[in-house]
Amino acid sequence: MAGIIGKKIGMSSFFDQDGKSIPCTMIEAGPCIVTQIKNIEKDGYSAIQLGFEDKNQKKLKKSEIGHVKNASCQPLNTYSEFKNNYTRTNDEGTSEQFEPNVGDIVGIDMFNEGEFVDVTSTSKGKGFQGVVKRHGFAGVGDATHGQHNRMRAPGSIGAASYPARVFKGMRMAGRMGGEKVKIKNLKVLKILKDKNVIILKGAVPGHNNTYVNITN
């Protein structure tokens, strides 16, 4: 699917025509620069690579400068690949298909208010967490019946004599969050083209200023 790279600004409230308050997420989407075009003959698949947000000049590497040389732009902070089926809104207000070339700008005009999009991002890292927070275990509701310090313990993880091992996939304590998460069918409530901001209904994974991929 065609898409664009954005940066999560934060959450707010959106009021519809009936005055109902809707929780929403504001995302600065683009403008993105086409840095590379993948084709089946050379790469084995067809895709378009987009870059977003200029990178700090002090952190540049020669390989990064060479990568964006054909695009005639500065090295960028993040890159993502999308399928090459882009549309944009023309002057008459209708959508038309176009094939971007290296160096072209892909903007927020590929989306329309009222349509549904998918958002992919990295969720907030929670660190090492126990089974109650990580997997929703109930824990021990009452501190009775002889137990005194096992309120949030996982309990038994397997029998001792047979099979005498812990099965793969056993839900236990461990690292939580910091994973790639995709949220589907978020409604586009408003598009602010002059500010390159798209307002989506509901929540989007990740902390503020994290990079997100929006696909339609």
* 123 Cβ neighbours under 8 A, 6+ residues apart: 177, 178, 179, 180, 181, 205, 206
CA–CA dist 178, 94 (Å, integer) = 39
Cis peptide before 163 (omega within 30 of 0): yes
Query: At the fourth CATH level, which superfamily is domain 3-124+180-215?
Result: Translation factors (2.40.30.10)
pLDDT tens-digit profile of 182-208?
Answer: 999 999 999 999 999 999 999 999 999
Domain residue extents for the chain: 3-124+180-215, 127-142+150-177
Chain Cα centroid distance, residue 84? 19
pLDDT tens-digit profile of 163-178?
Answer: 999 999 999 999 999 9
